[in-house]
Chain A
Amino acid sequence: MIRLKDVEKYYSNKFVKTWVLRNIDMEVKEGDFVTIMGPSGAGKSTLLHILGMLDDMSGGEYYFLDEPVHQLNERKRTGFHQQYIGFVFQAYHLIDELTVYENLETPLLYKKVKTSERKSLIAETLDRFNIVAKKDLFPNQLSGGQQQLVAVARALIINPKLILADEPTGNLNSKQGLEIMDMLKALNDEGTTIIQVTHDEKKAAYGDRIIHLLDGYIDKIDERN
């Protein structure tokens, strides 16, 4: 599903290049649950952003479902977002001005899903995440765990093939964190591909492969099964 070949990323400031990622080769198959680990500044988030097409890479090749992403224009990439990719972040990142219902609705609007189908999708999701009662509340009226729940729900509503999670439990207490992780695991079992970034060994254990990053290089890869 995903193939990176010699991907690199640097920022050039005047004549000095600051390397963030170098020589990244990796492959992710459909149904994989991959964890990216590493110390601060190792390039974890950047790698995730590149995978999610939120950031450009400085060099190398990136194939997503055999399409060469490094050659695609912005519109095509936006198409991939809408179609295949859902994001979950450490800071919940809901749109403050929209209610829970409207937050869930927005990606569907961008995807131009028809009204009737949209309504049933939202209802289904609210139900599934047990947040029907909260649908008319604004994000600042929810607790952190609830907000992250909504964020995950929003990522899933487009039924993505790939979920990218950047420390999804970083701001949650351990109980809420476990719930979110269990949910991701369940999704993975249903066939969704998941790539997560985490510091936490315990959370990392949910994945079946761990990629260790160090100073922008892939240090080592642990295969679980």
Chain B
Amino acid sequence: MLKNYLKTAYRNLLKTKVFSLLNIFGLAFGITACVLILHYVNFEKSYDRFHKDGERIYRLRYDRFDSEGGAVRFASCCPPAAPLIREGYPEVEKIGRMLHVQAGVSTLLDGREIKFLEERIFFAEPDVFDILKFHFIEGDPLIELAEPNKAFVSSSVARKYFGSQDPIGKVLSIDKKTDYRIVGLFEDVPSNSHLKFDILIPWKNLENQYGPQYYEEWGHTGSYTYLRVKPQTDIAAFENKLDDLVTSQCPWLKEYKMTIDLVMQPLYDIHLTSHYLQEYEVNGNRDNVNFLFIIAFFIILMAWVNYINLSTSRAITRAQETGLRKVIGASRAQLIIQFFLETVLINFFAILCTMLLIKLLTPLFSQISGIPLTVGMWSRAWFWEAIAGFFLAGVFLSGLYPVLVLSSFKPSRVLKGRPGISQRGINLRKVLVIFQFVISLALLSGTLTVYKQLSFMRRQDPGFSMDQTLVIKAPRVRDELFSEKMVTFKETLLNNPNIAEFCTVTEVPGRQIYWDNGAIRRAGEDISKGKNYMIVGVDYDFIDVLDIEMVCGRNFSKQYSTDPKALMLNETGVKWMGFDSPESALNQQVDYWGEIYTIIGVVKDYHQQSPKQAFEPQIFRLMPEGRDIRGHFVAVLNAQNIKESVQQINRQYEQFFPGNPFDYFFLDDYFNQQYKFDELFGRIFSLFAGLAIIITALGIFGLASFSAVQRTKEIGIRKVLGADVKRILLLLIQDFVFLLALAGLFVLPVLIFGINRWLESFAKRMDLDAFIFVVPMIIVLCVTLFTVSYQTIKSATANPVDSIRYE
């Protein structure tokens, strides 16, 4: 029996090759899109899930509010909180701190110096690794990190510095200031950890760097604090206790009319929801993840709807066989089994295709989505569950309706040549097609919106110039001759005809400024008026080198010996400080932590971050030598010989600042990488919009051929009465245009709502215009016309005699 069914099914698939391929590929594309999205969603949701007891682990954050309720929210915390919590709060099992630094790291290997700039170094307390369970290969961090001058490195770092040699016992010098002996080795931190580090050094060494008062400073954020609470701890009650702790420890807050909140942030929430100041890395976005998940759902739904459409429209041709089988004794149950078997077969082939597609697409998708290839899908349980799920759901959801329709045909009618296709079935198919139109239109409009907004942002004048601008990390290893060296270094570079301009600055545009100071106010104002500002340390040339415009006043100048006590604000800063206009701010005095500065100029707002972010209040301070942390050199190159210029600068740099690794980037690349996530979103969106269009076209093809078959006789009669192909084409296309118009009406309000919602996250928004709604309509219309015409012309040019004789 089974053999007979399979044989029929198989031969049927072969007989209607086009239909079978449409079916199989439609399903395969849908499932592939879905699995890829699931892969992405799963990866995003897998962040930090590998830690044991993760639901009891929290990161302690820090919020500061000024007297007017203005909030500054940090991902990090202040150093003195952790030891007090460790002592006085039994509900906390463990608590530990980490501080992220970048540094030049060097070592001697066989008499040769090896040095790199390391961007992922952490000072860490041992308890951190009791809380967060990373995989250590050698050495016990709980013991070793309790003592100073020891270091743990990752396997990759060990390989980078020491090749195949055993790293244990080797010495790393950090910024040529402190030597650390390597006592342990850990596996590279998984890519789905919100915290990523390459080198761990003891928290105790921090004291050497910042002095003991660092540990007592409640206003100083920057270190991350993790803690694990006992089971069943009431988090809200615990946070209230922390409020009391802050009040008792910081009596000065009253004077400033400020408050500090210590906030418990669940570990699992960090990656998808945390977007505060001083995040270790830019975190993901839960909205985007959920949104993609919904898209995945609709895509698979479309694929199934398609399958239903194609199979029921094919049912006409299958009706005769069905009726016949009934006549020769098939029961309904037997027919249902047979048709289900065909569905199983098609879904099976679709799954095979899916696997192949996924195999082929994985490298590309890894590139697009940024998920490392090492995070494979094939070995994951969810992957096989999803595949099995799609298969079973596909068989039942997409098979059920066609099977019921086919098996319910009345044999007597079928044999008379009138298959029982009811009007209800046709209406259902129309609804399904409208559904597909709606999804296609929505995805197309969405894609256009994302791209238009992106290009809108890129067209914005950033307010500074970034052409041929090379940025070099300023040397961290500095000796007492640094000031003189800086001057000569600059002169040497400017003497080089390849280098046009040079300056030094603490932060170049391209990311949020890391240096912020609170409690800054106009001189004479009450202490409670103090607010938070982003601080940029600049030299005399920064404004000119980056072509930043001044609104009024003047730039720092060597002609004024008073300038070290002067500062500049940006326009947003002027408003933030409460001045009515930039002009009125000039020559006013600012109380910056007890020192009085004079405002000498106002800088036009430029985009420190991508235009997605709002302008932030900035204070520019004069620092002709830059800073050793977060310092940058900026060199504008002449157009020719870029590569050679970089090499020349490299040589000079090494000569002037030995022991410092030469680490550089181009400003435009650096700035543009802020668009990475939105571009990724745009690419993913367009990929799936493309898939949706294909699936819709398949669906329309199915319905068009169905209605062409259905109306064969009508077309024949009309032709006999003298209608030409053109008129018949028009007749059939009308239906689809009507459905498309209906879909357009449905989708418009949803789109306007959705697009506005999405645009809310951008500070600078494009204007909505008809373009993003009309173009998708035209595209879908063209696809529809093309598909329908193909089918219709085929039946319209057929000999009418054949079709009329049919009855």
Contact = CB atoms under 8 A, between A and B. Distances in A.
Interface of A: 45-46, 49, 52, 54-55, 74-75, 78, 81-82, 87, 89, 93-98, 102, 105-107, 109-112, 154-155, 158
A95 B328 CA distance: 11
B225 to A, nearest CB: 71
Given A49-B412, A54-B412, A93-B415, A107 B12 contact: no
Contact of B332 (A74, A82, A93, A155): A74
A52 B334 CA distance: 19
Nearest to A79: B331
Interface in B323-372: 324-332, 334
B4 A52 contact: no
A158 to B, nearest CB: 7
Contact of A89 (B7, B12, B415): B415
19 contacts: A45-B416, A49-B412, A54-B326, A54-B327, A54-B411, A54-B412, A55-B412, A81-B327, A93-B320, A93-B324, A94-B324, A95-B324, A97-B12, A97-B15, A102-B7, A106-B4, A110-B325, A112-B1, A158-B329
- The 4 A-B residue pairs whose C-beta atoms are closest, nearest first, are A82-B329, A55-B412, A49-B412, A78-B331
A110 B328 contact: yes
A74 B411 CA distance: 13
Given A97-B15, A107-B328, A110-B329, 17 more contacts: A52-B327, A54-B326, A54-B411, A55-B410, A81-B329, A87-B328, A93-B320, A93-B415, A95-B8, A95-B321, A96-B321, A97-B8, A105-B4, A107-B329, A109-B1, A110-B331, A112-B1
Contacts of B334: 110
A34 B327 CA distance: 20
Contacts of B328: 81, 87, 106-107, 110, 154-155
SS class of chain B's interface: helix, strand, loop or mixed?
helix
B241 interface: no
Nearest to B324: A93
Contact of A95 (B325, B329, B412, B416): B325
A36 B589 CA distance: 115
Interface string B1-42: 100100110011001000000000000000000000000000
A118 to B, nearest CB: 10
Contacts of B15: 96-97
Contacts of B8: 95, 97-98
Interface of B: 1, 4, 7-8, 11-12, 15, 320-321, 324-332, 334, 410-412, 415-416
Nearest to A97: B11
Given A78-B329, A81-B329, A97 B415 contact: no
Nearest to B320: A93
Which residue, B7, B321, B334, B412, has most C-beta atoms of chain A within 10 A? Answer: B412
A106 B411 CA distance: 17
B462 to A, nearest CB: 67
Contacts of A74: 331-332
A89 B327 CA distance: 11
Contacts of B332: 74, 78
Contacts of B326: 54, 78, 81
A197 B1 CA distance: 33
A98 B331 contact: no
A98 B7 contact: yes
Contacts of A49: 412, 415
Contacts of B1: 109, 112
A107 B1 CA distance: 10
Which residue, A46, A93, A112, A154, has most C-beta atoms of chain B within 10 A? Answer: A93
Contacts of A75: 331
Nearest to B14: A97
